């Protein structure tokens, strides 16, 4: 099946979600999203970065330079407390949206 392009605005949610478990660097975030969605969601890898900058400046994630598992220099992003709250909020609103869309689509 052809992967689906992302709905506008959902990328933030996906990033926040993928960071919920542990701090990750950009490449690992992309990989995590791909894995979690069973390869269904395709994120254009580069588009992560403007999103990460936006999240950082909202105070939802914070970034720190570190060393990746491949022993390379990488910038690790971690959820802040505010980010966690935002994740909950966005998850809730996504679920409402998804439920509503499902309802509309299923109703004949």
Residue (25 or 32) nearer to other proteins, CB: 25
Phi, psi torsion values for 50, nearest 5 degrees: -55, -40
Residue given tokens 């679920």 in the structure block: 95
Stretch that binds other proteins, among 32-40, 70-78, 90-98, 99-107 (CB under 8 A): 70-78
Q: Which of 17, 34, 75, 84 binds other proteins (CB under 8 A)?
A: 75
Residue (40 or 99) nearer to other proteins, CB: 40
| Overall residue count recorded for the chain in this entry | 108
Mask for 26-65, x = binds other proteins (CB under 8 A) = xx--x-------------xxxx-xxx-xx-xxxx--x---
Mask for 8-27, x = binds other proteins (CB under 8 A) = -----------------xxx
83, 19 in Cβ contact below 8 A? yes
2: alpha, beta or left, given left = phi > 0 and alpha = psi -120 to 50?
beta
74, 27 in Cβ contact below 8 A? yes
């Amino acid at each position: 099946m052809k992967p689906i392009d992302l709905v506008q605005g959902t990328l933030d949610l996906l990033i926040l979600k993928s960071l919920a478990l542990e701090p990750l660097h950009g490449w690992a975030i992309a990989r995590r999203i791909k894995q979690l969605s069973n390869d269904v969601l395709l994120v254009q890898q580069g588009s992560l970065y403007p999103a990460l900058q936006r999240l950082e400046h909202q105070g939802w994630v914070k970034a720190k330079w570190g060393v990746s598992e491949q022993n390379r220099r990488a910038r690790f992003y971690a959820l802040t407390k505010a980010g966690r709250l935002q994740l909950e909020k966005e998850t809730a609103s996504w679920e409402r949206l998804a439920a509503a869309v499902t309802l509309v689509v299923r109703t004949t």
